[in-house]
Amino acid sequence: MGVSKRYKNAVSQLGRVCSDAGRDVQEVTLVAVSKTVGMREVAQAIEAGARDFGENRPDQLMEKADHFPDVNWHFIGNIQSRRIRDIVGRACLIHSLHKLQHAEKINQCAQEQGIVQDVLLEVNVSGEESKSGLTPIDVGPMLDACNSLENISVRGLMTMAPQGDEHAVRATFEGLAKLHGELRARMPRKQAEQFTELSMGMSEDWPIAVEFGATFVRIGRAIFSDEF
Ligand SMILES: *Cc1c(COP(=O)(O)O)cnc(C)c1O
């Protein structure tokens, strides 16, 4: 089975999962994570209908976004200060912001480009030491700090679940959704209208994330690997 078939299977599965969860499929964007593949596979996915792609390295983001400028590119990787300039403006959404100093630099680069950069705050819900992200209690203060930056718009939250243990996966996605709801409830209306997104779920666990309200699922191997 090739990229095209696997992408189409993922789309139809997304439709079924949404309908089982009583959700409108339009609310959920499938981000095809192309970090392990090249231009040929990206072209095949576009041909099959994919419009949103995720990359975790600035070099790959630059190369692919410049080659395929008509689709949306998401940055989902570790942010390094010196590479922020390459990400801002190319990425329609940065999913992995969790440091104030990076927020300030993103804001500065966005200002220079005359744009507002959409971002999500990455949260380490499960508390695993190997995972990056803000601890849940630090998200509120980080949001307040980002709100004073005019060229950044915080659109929501992102997390990664622990691998393997379904109970822990559910607790993580439920925890992110709950935190999102609590933060949103105490925002001024204008800010709450922007703060609508939940990026959670990967190849192994995205149907569970959709149950808990994901608006972006980030699917790599299930589309691009024939070993998944
Ligand atoms: C690689 C990656 C994914 C996709 O993972 P798969 O298991 O290949 O679906 C999603 N999110 C992030 C942050 C990633 O780095």
Spell out the per-residue pLDDT of the chain, length 228, in tens: 899 999 999 999 999 999 999 999 999 999 999 999 999 999 999 999 999 999 999 999 999 999 999 999 999 999 999 999 999 999 999 999 999 999 999 999 999 999 999 999 999 999 999 999 999 999 999 999 999 999 999 999 999 999 989 999 999 999 999 999 999 999 999 999 999 999 999 999 999 999 999 999 999 999 999 988
pTM, whole model, 2 decimals? 0.98
**C-alpha of 40 from chain center:** 23
* H-run or E-run covering 15: helix 3-20
Please work out whether the CB of residue 202 comes within 6 Å of at least one atom of ligand 1.
yes
pLDDT digits (tens, 9 = 90+) for 64-76: 999 999 999 999 9
Phi and psi at 88, nearest 5°, equal: -60, 130
How many angstroms separate the alpha carbon of residue 188 from the centre of ligand 1?
Answer: 33
Assess contact for 130 and 112: CB atoms under 8 A: no
Question: Directed axis angle between helix 136-147 and helix 100-113, to 10°?
Answer: 30
Question: CB under 8 Å to 102, separation ≥6 — which residues?
Answer: 79, 81, 84
Cβ(133) – ligand 1 distance below 6 Å: no
Distant-in-sequence, close-in-space partners of 1: CB < 8 Å, separation ≥ 6: 9, 226
**pLDDT given for residue 205 in this prediction:** 98
Q: How much distance in Å is there from the Cα of 218 to the middle of ligand 1? A: 6
Atom of ligand 1 nearest to the CA of 221: 8
Smallest CA separation from ligand 1 atom 8, residue: 220
At 164 the pLDDT is 87
Q: Which of 35, 198, 202 to mutate to test the pocket of ligand 1 (most atoms within 8 A of CB)?
A: 202
The response to whether residue 30 sits with its C-beta less than 6 Å from ligand 1 reads no
| CA nearest neighbour of 33 among 43, 23, 42 | 42
Amino acid identity at 209: A
Q: Are 205 and 169 in contact (CB under 8 A)?
A: yes
pLDDT at 1: 83
